[in-house]
Amino acid sequence: MADTPIPEVKPATHARVLKVAIPIVISNATVPILGAVDTGVVGQLGEAAPIGAVGIGAIILTGLYWMFGFLRMGTTGLTSQAHGAGRHGEVSAMLTRALMLGFAGAAVIIALQYPLFLLAFQLSPASAEVESLAQGYMQIRVFSAPAMIGLYGITGWLIALERTRAVLLLQVWMNGLNIVLDLWFVLGLGWGVEGVAFATFLAEWTGLALGLWLCRDAFQQPAWRDWTRIFDRARLREVMSVNGDIMLRSFMLQAIFMSFLFLGARFGDVTLAANQVLMQFLHITAYALDGFAFAAEALVGQALGARARANLRRSAWLSSFWGGIMVVLLALIFAIGGGPIIDLLTTATEVQSEARAYLPYMIAAPLVGVASWMLDGIFIGATRTRDMRNMMAVSLVIYVVAVLVLIPPFGNHGLWLALLISFVARGVTLMVRYPALERAADTAD
């Protein structure tokens, strides 16, 4: 079962960072296009209910799948370290573990789909017609859960090996096929909401097939089906610990954003709508920074696996340097073009005016949040997930205190300030733990 470690320490360079990051940035740019097409094709049916059904059905399923998002991050960190340490058998075994976890999680969702859907509609009720159409949509799409969740593991594995062009190919294939099938099934065959569901179902399963083909070199290693290695207790404990920490951290992060939306509802429909519009700026920022955070995951993980402390530091610095350039560009874009972007996102004049009042927070958000985004990538690559979990808990407490102190005197301005403070808290608390991360490179197994 043991590998012969032959660490190959490749120096971190600007070119390596950009090679990992740019395909991810392009890949992320295709995501909103698919959502727009899904909405657009059902919008051609001339009724409101199909649009609402596709929207709410997609949100519910995305939320269920998101619970297994830790699989992408955990797989990247553990695989990149094994690759950096020259443990090629473990690299293949990690892919098998990730797929098994993904398929097991999907089986649970499929088995519990009815109570899960019922609970979702209890939390977010809709009209009887919308719920009926959404049920039909989800009952088709839920059977592609093994493909979708399995792809989290595949994507994480590919990122760990710096193969982000393959990730881009996967995303373009799935979204491109989905769009073509949307147009055919809905507008050509008249299948309505079920046509959108079948299009996504087929795109996700073919995406899994393509993903497995892109990982075919892993299956050339006997270790991918070395069950003694795969079920090794120490490795399984490590996998479960890393993924468990990431899951808890993600729940706490989601609690901040969900509470932000709920608290914003207190200030009226116009302010709530304005907050929703401005949240799109944060989504844009996250999509743009993902590439550089993923580069940090891959390069830091490999450096840690190779016990190359200087290379780890350089990897963290270079990926953060390019992330910093990106957020400066985003802040400039939001400062110059924020108003027109708001006008594209909503035609309601009162919402446009309200969103403009809070636009300065969106100009500041990339700048004050860059440390939290980049350090997340660095800590994921190093699998310092306990620190991520604990520092997220501290940041959540700081956010709650900021909400309690700032909302009474400042209203929605106080809410936005509290959110930005949570970004700063995440960055500062992780920075405090960064020296220990570097020291781990001297003692990594």
Question: Where residue 134 falls among pLDDT bands split at 50, 70, 90?
Answer: confident
Q: How far apart are CA 253 and CA 78, in angstroms?
A: 22
Average pLDDT over residues 147-168: 95
pLDDT (0 to 100) of residue 45: 67
pLDDT (0 to 100) of residue 270: 83
**296-328, pLDDT tens digit by residue?**
999 999 999 988 899 999 999 999 999 999 999
pLDDT (0 to 100) of residue 69: 87
Residue 2 has pLDDT above 80, yes or no: no
Average pLDDT over residues 397-424: 96
Tell me the pTM. Answer: 0.89
Residue 381 has pLDDT above 80, yes or no: yes
Average pLDDT over residues 154-177: 94
Q: How far apart are CA 7 and CA 327, in angstroms?
A: 34
Average pLDDT over residues 9-27: 90
pLDDT (0 to 100) of residue 161: 94
Nearest C-alpha neighbor of 308 from the set 81, 52, 39, 55: 81
pLDDT (0 to 100) of residue 190: 85
The domain spans of the chain are: 7-231, 240-445
Give SS3 for 4.
Answer: coil
Give the number of other Cβ atoms within 10 Å of residue 290's Cβ.
18
* Cα–Cα distance list, 335 to 156, 346, 417 (Å): 34, 18, 18
Average pLDDT over residues 386-399: 97
Q: Within 13 A of 336's CA, how many CA atoms are on the CB side?
A: 6
Give the number of other Cβ atoms within 10 Å of residue 45's Cβ.
15
Query: What is the share, in percent, of the chain residues with pLDDT greater than 90?
Result: 61
**195-206, pLDDT tens digit by residue?**
989 999 999 999
User: Are the beta carbons of 69 and 102 closer than 8 angstroms?
Assistant: no
Give the range among 88-92, 144-148, 265-269, 424-428 with minimum mean pLDDT. Answer: 265-269
Average pLDDT over residues 35-56: 71
Average pLDDT over residues 226-233: 90
pLDDT (0 to 100) of residue 50: 76
Q: How far apart are CA 87 and CA 82, in angstroms?
A: 5
Q: How far apart are CA 370 and CA 320, in angstroms?
A: 8
pLDDT (0 to 100) of residue 278: 87
pLDDT (0 to 100) of residue 440: 82
Give SS3 for 162.
Answer: coil
Residue 5 has pLDDT above 60, yes or no: no
What tokens appear for 310 in the block?
Answer: 């200087």
Average pLDDT over residues 256-275: 84
Q: How far apart are CA 58 and CA 64, in angstroms?
A: 10
Give the range among 183-197, 309-323, 381-395 with minimum mean pLDDT. Answer: 183-197
Q: How far apart are CA 16 and CA 36, in angstroms?
A: 33
Q: How far apart are CA 204 and CA 198, in angstroms?
A: 10
Residue 37 has pLDDT above 80, yes or no: no
Q: How far apart are CA 192 and CA 43, in angstroms?
A: 10
pLDDT (0 to 100) of residue 129: 80
Q: Which residue has the tokens 């594995």?
A: 157
Give the number of other Cβ atoms within 10 Å of residue 413's Cβ.
15
Q: How far apart are CA 173 and CA 210, in angstroms?
A: 9
What tokens appear for 264 in the block?
Answer: 């914003």
pLDDT (0 to 100) of residue 242: 94
Sign of the alpha-carbon dihedral angle for 106, 111, 116, 118: positive
Average pLDDT over residues 208-226: 92
Query: What is the share, in percent, of the chain residues with pLDDT greater than 70?
Result: 93
**65-123, pLDDT tens digit by residue?**
888 889 999 999 999 999 998 888 999 999 999 999 999 999 999 999 989 888 877 77
Residue 444 has pLDDT above 80, yes or no: no
Q: What angle do CA 26, 31, 32 make, to 5 degrees?
A: 115
What tokens appear for 112 in the block?
Answer: 């519990």
The 3-class secondary structure across 191-235, one letter per residue, is: CHHHHHHHHHHHHHHHHHHHHHHHCHHHHHCHHHHCHHHHCCHHH
Give the number of other Cβ atoms within 10 Å of residue 362's Cβ.
26
**333-379, pLDDT tens digit by residue?**
999 999 998 888 777 788 889 999 999 999 999 999 999 999 999 99
